[in-house]
Amino acid sequence: MQVLGIDVGGSGIKGAPVDTETGKLLAERVRIKTPKNAEPEPVAEVVTEIAKSFNWTGPIGIGFPAPIKSGVAMMAANVSEKWVGTNVDDMFTKITGCDCTMINDADAAGLAEMKFGAGQGQPGTVIMVTLGTGIGSAIFYRGVLLPNTEFGHLEVKGQDAEYRASDMARQRDDLSWKKYAKRLNKFLSKMERLFWPDLFIIGGGISKESDKYIPLLKIKTPVVPAQLLNEAGIVGAALAARAEK
C-alpha cells in the first residue's frame, strides 16, 4: 500500500510517499520550514502544499508533536496553543481533500523503527526517544505501542527534560558533545530507573551524529541510533494511516 507520510516538526514539515510493505520512500522527501508560531491554518497549508507537490489524492498519515486521542490534539508543545482541543484528523482531511490519519510524532517514529529498524524482533520493553526541537518518546512492550507518552516533560533538575537535553537545548547552550551527553545521560538514567527498558533507540535529526555522543553515555541499558534516521517519522505516519484502513 502507498501512503503519503508527513512529519510535522517544530522547525520543519517534511513528507514523502511511502511503500508501507517495505518502509521505503518512493520519492525524494519534501521539506518546508514550519510557519512561525506553528498555528493550525498555516501548518495545514504547508501539509497541503506537500501533498500537491506529489499530486497526491490517496491516504495521508501525519505525525504531530502532541498527544492525539480520537483525532484530537490534547496539548501543545513547540506548536501554537490553538491546536489544543482541535480535531486535527477532520481539519487536515477537509483542507487537503484526502483521508488523513493523525498520530503523535514520536509514536510514528517508534512504529517505523519497531517494524523496519533498530527495534525489529526486540523482546521486552523498548523506548524510542526523539531529540529535536523538544524530546518525543514512544514505549513498546513486546512490540505493542503504549500511545501518547510525554517523557520529554519529566522533571530533571527542576526543569522539563527537553529544556535541558533536546537537540535545540544543545545548540542553544552551545554544548560540547561531552557536556551534551552528560545531560542526556541524566534523562536516560531517570527513564532507566522508572521503566527498566531493554533497549533505548535514539531518533530525530541528531541521530545521524550518534557516534559523537552515544559512546559517552554511562547507563546500563543498550542505546542505539534509529536506523531510519530522520525518515522514521514519515514512515511511521504512513504505517499509522495504513493501520486505519
Q: What share of the chain is helix, strand, coil (3-state, %, to 5)?
A: 40, 25, 35
Rounded CA separation 138/237 (Å)? 13
Please, which residues have CB within 8 angstroms of residue 56's CB and are 6 or more apart in sequence?
Answer: 4, 17, 98
* Phi, psi torsion values for 174, nearest 5 degrees: 50, 50
| Contact between 96 and 61 (Cβ < 8 Å) | no
Residues 6+ apart with CB under 8 A from 116: 22, 23, 227, 228, 235
As a whole number of angstroms, the distance between CA 43 and CA 116 comes to 28
In a structure prediction context, what are the per-residue pLDDT tens digits for the chain, which is 245 residues long? 999 999 998 889 999 999 999 999 999 999 999 999 999 999 999 999 999 999 999 999 999 999 999 999 998 877 899 999 999 999 999 999 999 999 999 999 999 999 999 999 998 999 999 998 899 999 999 999 999 999 999 999 999 999 999 999 999 999 999 999 999 999 999 999 999 999 999 998 898 999 999 999 999 999 999 999 889 999 999 999 988 65
Domains of the chain, earliest start first: 2-107+232-243 (3.30.420.40), 121-226 (3.30.420.40)
pTM across the whole model: 0.93
Q: Half-sphere exposure of 117 toward its Cβ, with a 13 Å CA cutoff?
A: 30
Q: Helix H segments across 55-116?
A: 88-96, 105-116
**CB neighbours (10 Å) of residue 52?**
11
